[in-house]
Amino acid sequence: MPVVELAGVTKAYENKVAVSNLSFSIDAGQMFGLLGPNGAGKTSSIRMMLGITMPDSGRVSLFGKPFERGSLERVGYLPEERGLYKKMKVLEQLVFFGELHGLAAEVARSRATVWAKRMEIDEVLAKKTEELSKGMQQKIQFISSVLHDPGLIIMDEPFSGLDPVNAVLLERTLLELKDEGKAIVFSTHRMDQVEKLCDSICLIDKGRAVLAGKVRDIKASYERNRVIIEYQGSSEFLSSTEVAEAKNFSGHAEIRLKEHGNAQKLLQEAAAVATIYRFELVEPSLEEIFIKTVGGKANA
Partner 1 sequence: MRNFLLVARREYMEQIRGRAFLLTTILLPALFACVIGVGYLSSLGLGSNKHLAVLSNNPVLADLIRQRLTRKKESKTTVDVFAPASIEDRARLLKQVQERSIDGLLEVVSSGQGLPEATYSSPSSGDFITTSRMTGAINDSLVKERLTRSGMPTSDADALIKGITIQTFQVKKDGSVIKSNAVASFYKGYVMAFLLSMTTVVYGLNVARSIIQEKTSRIFEVMLAIAEPEDLLAGKLIGVGAVGLTQILIWVTAAGLMLVTPLAASTLSGDFEVHFSWVEAVLFPVYFVLGYFLYSALFAGLAATCETEQELQMFTPLAAVPVWLSFAMILLIINDSNSVWSVAASLFPPCTPIIMFLRMGSQVPPTWQILLSIVLMLLSIWGVLWLSSRLYRIGILMYGKRATLPEILRWLRYS
Residues that bind partner 1 (CB under 8 A): 14, 47, 50-53, 69, 72, 75, 77, 79, 81-88, 96-97, 99-101, 141, 144, 154
Q: Toward partner 1, which CB reaches closer, 24 or 97?
A: 97
Q: Toward partner 1, which CB reaches closer, 12 or 212?
A: 12
Q: Toward partner 1, which CB reaches closer, 44 or 225?
A: 44
Minimum distance, C-beta of residue 141 to partner 1, in the bound complex (Å):
8
Q: Toward partner 1, which CB reaches closer, 188 or 225?
A: 188
Minimum distance, C-beta of residue 144 to partner 1, in the bound complex (Å):
8
Minimum distance, C-beta of residue 164 to partner 1, in the bound complex (Å):
25
Minimum distance, C-beta of residue 154 to partner 1, in the bound complex (Å):
8
DSSP the chain: --SEEEEEEEEEETTEEEEEEEEEEE-TT-EEEEE-STTSSHHHHHHHHTTSS--SEEEEEETTEE--GGGGGGEEEE-SS----TTSBHHHHHHHHHHHTT--HHHHHHHHHHHHHHTT-GGGTTSBGGGS-HHHHHHHHHHHHHTT--SEEEEESTTTT--HHHHHHHHHHHHHHHHTT-EEEEE-S-HHHHHHH-SEEEEEETTEEEEEEEHHHHHHHS---EEEEEEEE--GGGG-TTEEEEEEETTEEEEEEPTT--HHHHHHHHHHHEEEEEEEEEPPPHHHHHHHHTTS----
Minimum distance, C-beta of residue 81 to partner 1, in the bound complex (Å):
4
Minimum distance, C-beta of residue 217 to partner 1, in the bound complex (Å):
31
Q: What is the 3-state secondary structure (H, E, C) of 133-177?
A: CHHHHHHHHHHHHHCCCCCEEEEECCCCCCCHHHHHHHHHHHHHH
Q: Toward partner 1, which CB reaches closer, 84 or 211?
A: 84
Q: Toward partner 1, which CB reaches closer, 160 or 262?
A: 160
Q: Toward partner 1, which CB reaches closer, 148 or 226?
A: 148
Minimum distance, C-beta of residue 67 to partner 1, in the bound complex (Å):
12
